[in-house]
Amino acid sequence: MAVKKSPDRPPRIFAALAGPASGTVKLIAPSAGGRASYNWQYSLDGETWIDLASTLQATATMTGQVPGTVLLFRYRSVTRTGETEWSAPVTFTVPES
């Protein structure tokens, strides 16, 4: 009997990426497993954090950002055992169109 080995995927890391449209940012975080939710925040200065909508998936999208704006993002997962600490922030500059 032959068993196929599935290809190893690199672990997902927290990242902010350019979205499909100008002024859109896509956030991707490592999965915390089933039945987890995710809290997202952004900041312009690293001191004042603004909540984004919570999601049930390890991704979120932010729209309507001005190209050239520098944003910081962080997230935390929420499971039945409680909330994790906030992640280290990642910096993202909204690209020109």
The pLDDT assigned to 9 comes to 67
Cα separation of 65 and 62, whole Å? 8
DSSP the chain: ---PPPPPPPPP--EEEE-SSTT-EEEE-----TT-EEEEEEESSSSS-EEPPPBSSSEEEE--PPTT-EEEEEEEEEETTEEPPPPPPEEEEPPP-
Q: Candidates 3.30.470.20, 1.20.140.10, 2.60.40.10, 2.60.40.650; correct CATH number of 15-93?
A: 2.60.40.10
- Name which of 75, 70, 78, 69 is nearest 89 in CA terms: 75
pTM confidence score: 0.87
Q: Tell me which of 6-15, 47-56, 77-86 is least confident.
A: 6-15
pLDDT tens digits for range 47-57: 999 999 999 99
Residue 4, pLDDT > 90, answer: no
Taking residues 27-32, report their average pLDDT. 96
Instruction: Return the domain boundaries, the chain.
Output: 15-93
pLDDT tens for 50-80 read 999 999 999 999 999 999 999 999 999 999 9
